[in-house]
Structure 1
Amino acid sequence: MELFYYMVFGAMAAVVAVMELSKTNKDRINTSSVFDSFKNNYLLVYSLMMAGDWLQGPYVYYLYSTYGFGKGEIGQLFIAGFGSSMVFGTIVGSLADKQGRKRACVTYCITYILSCFTKHSPQYKVLMVGRILGGIATSLLFSAFESWLVAEHFKRGFDVQWLSLTFSKAIFLGNGLIAILSGLFGNMLVDTLSLGPVSPFDAAAIILAIGMAFILSSWTENYGDPSDNKDLLTQFKGAAVAIAADEKIALLGAIQSLFEGSMYTFVFLWTPALSPNDEEIPHGFIFATFMLASMLGSSIASRLLARNSPAVESYMQIVFVISSASLLLPLLTNFLVAPSKEKGDGLSFSGCLQLLGFCVFEACVGIFWPSIMKMRSQYIPEEARSTIMNFFRIPLNIFVCIVLYNVNAFPIAVMLGMCSIFLFVASILQRRLLAIADKPKTEDWTMPREKNMEDEPLNAP
């Protein structure tokens, strides 16, 4: 069975290598040296931020269990993290738009470092505070950095198509290569060097501090709407009105919530899905394989985004359908082959099929991230970007909290099948977004040009 793991990992690595090495001029975007410097600085910082996050992920549950907490108490801690992200996310997003995205990114570093420090305490209340801080940090990670990048990109006058290059590279590195290296580094700290389950959190704090130093020394500040006469409630109302008034923004938020909710549910369920009777499986190796699949997806996305056709709104329909089909495999395999209730030696035949399907899903995740970033940069208004992005995360966090609370209420195959339905619904909404995307764009594009032509004689010297 070990041969199967190596074959899947090797095949995935080979495909990723071929994809990257076989890029032609059509798959690449010609940029300037000034932009390359800007892009590389952002990718360095983003990679450090993601390393600080990835180092912690595999060991949170394990650390809590070593402190003697049971499944129910650990579940409450996880719910607190997602609940914190839901409650405080919109507030910190609005503050990022008003007080500055650079400050918000620094706040992310400080908040997550404090969360890492709480892991040294076995006290439940202290760990709960750490989860709340971690939820706030997560909201900032998935809104403030992207908001800063988009605003800074256009402020510096770079080509709009170059933004896609930064997005795809950020996902390729941050959600792929850095995730794999972080997993290996954390494994070395805990197992090889025997420094204990809290050591990855200490390493994450150090890496986040280094990243914060780069932000403070090399980033400039930008804002959404820094107007002093707008309080948080006014910003919330403005963001809600923008979502309600523009069907494209509302559709984008629904699509994002459906996909990310399914993705986070998958993160919790893939282990028991592959080892239903607590079979011994190489979790770290499988995780690394998933990250390779995500890298493959981001590599495919970089090629698609480098070309004008097909449009991102078009090909994402297919991605959602494929991802929906991939999460149906556990339900199909359980229907065709009765699941065993006896502990096996390793991954079963149905488990092997599911692993391949899960790799396909992770490849779809790799395509999703840079593509949704591209669509957000097109449709979300700049003055409330962080606020609206965190509005999108409210239904996502509610969904994940419900799943965590009822994780034992339904069979795993049924819960993944439910996620498959959500992903299919996302494909339908994506089709609607494609249908309405072009016409408003044409109107928005022509009207300012006509206005500028009328104003031109008045502004002429």
Structure 2
Amino acid sequence: GDFLLPGVRGPGGGGGRLELGKSGKDRVATPTAFNAFKNNYVLVYSLMMSGDWLQGPYMYYLYSQYGFDKGDIGRLFVAGFGSSMLFGTIVGSLADRQGRKRACITYCITYILSCITKHSPHYRVLLGRILGGVATSLLFSAFESWLVAEHNKRGYDPQWLSITFSKAIFLGNGLIAIIAGLFANLLADNLGFGPVAPFDAAACFLAIGMAIIMSSWSENYGDQSEGKDLMSQFKVAAKAIASDEKIALLGAIQSLFEGSMYTFVFLWTPALSPNDQDIPHGFIFATFMLSSMLGSSIASRLLARKMKVEGYMQIVFAVSAFTLFLPVATSLLVPTSSVKGSGISFGGSLQLLGFCTFESCVGIFWPSIMKMRSQYIPEEARSTIMNFFRIPLNLFVCVVLYNVNAFPITVMFGMCSIFLFMAAILQRRLMLVADLHKLSTKSQEMTAQDEPLNP
């Protein structure tokens, strides 16, 4: 595949030369090269995400079909989550040193292997979860950094980067997720191939994506000098957090929300089928993703209207706290059907409505938290600061899922609900602190002639 690479680099170089001509005809020629580059990335990213999303709906169900109980499945989730956490801290700098293209190919290989292990009903399956965790942490860092570096290397306008990102996120994190849910449902239920089929489909999509990467991407590396050890990075982060309450608040808010979200990913399957009711996992997953997409479109409306993020996020957190309290309420008020194999119960559909609302809150959360991060957290230390908060959060989620058998599901939901309520309170505090900060900087700017007013 390496022979093709010089050719691929051509359009970038060509684009730079054409810019000098600056005649109308040439200016149009540059975007075509860029569009090809953008579409290639969006296609690859969509294939990568489909490989990820296809595994979502049936993960819990597959393990339960293999005869594992809630506690065992919790530990399997921990294996994936823990490896993603441990690996996530070093994967960025590893990819920078070893090459991003190589990291992207590693993602494909580890995830395909992880899919293959799903065929074994033994606890060896664990191995697959660990690989899956490694893959996930690569997915969230390697592709983005490859794109940014390649975009700049080809000399494209930095403004165009957001075009590629928004298209990739709309497709890869939105549309593809919905289609993947429906497709997984089709394979597993409607066509009757069983819950392992979506994992095989995921492996196929990843293999196609890998072929495209190997044949059409060029390698790029990060800043090699940034190989600072974790301790020194954490000192920087700790200093930033200690010096600015806003950073501490934002980190805590994000951790509380993400913690609830990851716990929810585990809980929704057993919550909707407490007595092994037959529920269409893929279809439900697709409605979750649709809700989440709706949420992000609401967020972009709100942000476009210059709505105050710190203001509306309080409401979002309060609403999400309420939605995850619903299962607690329904279990107390609505009698559950104890018939095995029946469809979803009334309490179940009520919860499903709540879960969809929660997913829309998730959709609003991502763009909004990104906006606040860009306002409050200095760019150079951003990823380090986020890791600083993520580690205690992930440890906590691991502890909860590891001991999942010790609590009834309703207790878990209650805990998530309290987390989200705390996030709402901290968000309120952040708004007040930010306003005070603005006021104090304003009062410092006041001129000397105003001084005599308050003797």
TM superposition score normalised by structure 2: 0.75
1:434/1:137 Cα in 2 relative to 1: closer, same or farther (>3 Å)? farther
Q: CA deviation at 1:53?
A: 0.7
Q: CA deviation at 1:402?
A: 2.5
Q: 1:186 is matched with which residue: 178, 184, 187?
A: 184
Q: 1:253 is matched with which residue: 251, 254, 262?
A: 251
Query: Which residue of structure 2 lines up, in the alignment, with residue 92 of structure 1?
Result: 91
Whichever residue aligns with residue 109 of structure 2, its letter is: I
CA distance in 1, matches of 2:266, 2:285: 12
Q: Is the 8 A contact 1:167 1:373 kept in 2?
A: no
CA distance in 2, matches of 1:219, 1:440: 46
| Structure having the higher Rg | 2
1:353/1:187 Cα in 2 relative to 1: closer, same or farther (>3 Å)? closer
Q: Which moved more, 1:403-412 or 1:233-242?
A: 233-242
CA distance in 1, matches of 2:191, 2:249: 48
CA distance in 1, matches of 2:298, 2:218: 30
CA distance in 1, matches of 2:246, 2:100: 24
Whichever residue aligns with residue 58 of structure 1, its letter is: P
Q: CA deviation at 1:208?
A: 2.2
Q: 1:433 is matched with which residue: 427, 430, 435?
A: 430
Whichever residue aligns with residue 328 of structure 1, its letter is: F
Q: Which runs of 5+ in 1 are unaligned?
A: 1-31, 445-461
CA distance in 2, matches of 1:145, 1:379: 25
Q: Is the 8 A contact 2:181 2:283 kept in 1?
A: no
Q: Is the 8 A contact 1:94 1:236 kept in 2?
A: no
CA distance in 2, matches of 1:58, 1:122: 18
1:407 counterpart = 2:404: yes
CA distance in 2, matches of 1:386, 1:434: 23
TM superposition score normalised by structure 1: 0.74
Whichever residue aligns with residue 108 of structure 2, its letter is: C
Query: Which residue of structure 2 lines up, in the alignment, with residue 267 of structure 1?
Result: 265
1:100/1:396 Cα in 2 relative to 1: closer, same or farther (>3 Å)? farther
User: CA RMSD for the aligned pairs?
Assistant: 3.7
CA distance in 2, matches of 1:315, 1:220: 42
Q: Is the 8 A contact 1:168 1:302 kept in 2?
A: no
CA distance in 2, matches of 1:238, 1:343: 57
How does 1:3-18 map onto structure 2 within 5 Å?
none
Q: CA deviation at 1:51?
A: 0.7
Q: CA deviation at 1:112?
A: 1.8
Q: Which runs of 5+ in 2 are unaligned?
A: 1-29, 442-455
CA distance in 1, matches of 2:327, 2:417: 11
1:368 counterpart = 2:376: no
CA distance in 1, matches of 2:97, 2:432: 34
Whichever residue aligns with residue 199 of structure 1, its letter is: A
CA distance in 2, matches of 1:105, 1:258: 30
Q: Is the 8 A contact 2:57 2:281 kept in 1?
A: no
* Residues 128-156 of structure 1 deviation map (CA, whole Å, 9 limit, x = unaligned): 22211111222233344455567777895
Query: Which residue of structure 1 lines up, in the alignment, with residue 327 of structure 2?
Result: 330
Whichever residue aligns with residue 358 of structure 2, its letter is: F
* Residues 400-420 of structure 1 deviation map (CA, whole Å, 9 limit, x = unaligned): 222323333333333212211
SS at match of 2:421: helix
Query: Which residue of structure 2 lines up, in the alignment, with residue 7 of structure 1?
Result: none
Q: CA deviation at 1:192?
A: 5.0
Q: CA deviation at 1:259?
A: 0.9
Q: Which moved more, 1:361-370 or 1:60-69?
A: 60-69
Q: CA deviation at 1:321?
A: 1.7
Query: Which residue of structure 1 lines up, in the alignment, with residue 158 of structure 2?
Result: 158
SS at match of 2:278: coil
Whichever residue aligns with residue 258 of structure 1, its letter is: L
How does 1:167-186 map onto structure 2 within 5 Å?
169-186=167-184
1:358 counterpart = 2:355: yes
Q: Is the 8 A contact 1:81 1:134 kept in 2?
A: yes
Whichever residue aligns with residue 411 of structure 1, its letter is: P
CA distance in 1, matches of 2:344, 2:188: 25
Q: CA deviation at 1:55?
A: 1.2
Higher relative contact order (CA 8 A, sep 6+): 1
Query: Which residue of structure 2 lines up, in the alignment, with residue 24 of structure 1?
Result: none
Q: CA deviation at 1:383?
A: 4.4
CA distance in 1, matches of 2:191, 2:425: 50
Q: 2:414 is matched with which residue: 413, 417, 427?
A: 417
Query: Which residue of structure 1 lines up, in the alignment, with residue 25 of structure 2?
Result: none
CA distance in 1, matches of 2:83, 2:236: 22
CA distance in 2, matches of 1:272, 1:279: 10
Q: CA deviation at 1:60?
A: 2.8
Q: Which moved more, 1:346-355 or 1:175-184?
A: 346-355
Q: Which moved more, 1:339-348 or 1:43-52?
A: 339-348
* Residues 324-366 of structure 1 deviation map (CA, whole Å, 9 limit, x = unaligned): 122222233344x253463385444333332222221111111
1:310 counterpart = 2:307: yes
1:147/1:381 Cα in 2 relative to 1: closer, same or farther (>3 Å)? farther
* Residues 263-284 of structure 1 deviation map (CA, whole Å, 9 limit, x = unaligned): 1222222233333333333333
1:386/1:181 Cα in 2 relative to 1: closer, same or farther (>3 Å)? same
Q: How many residues align?
A: 407
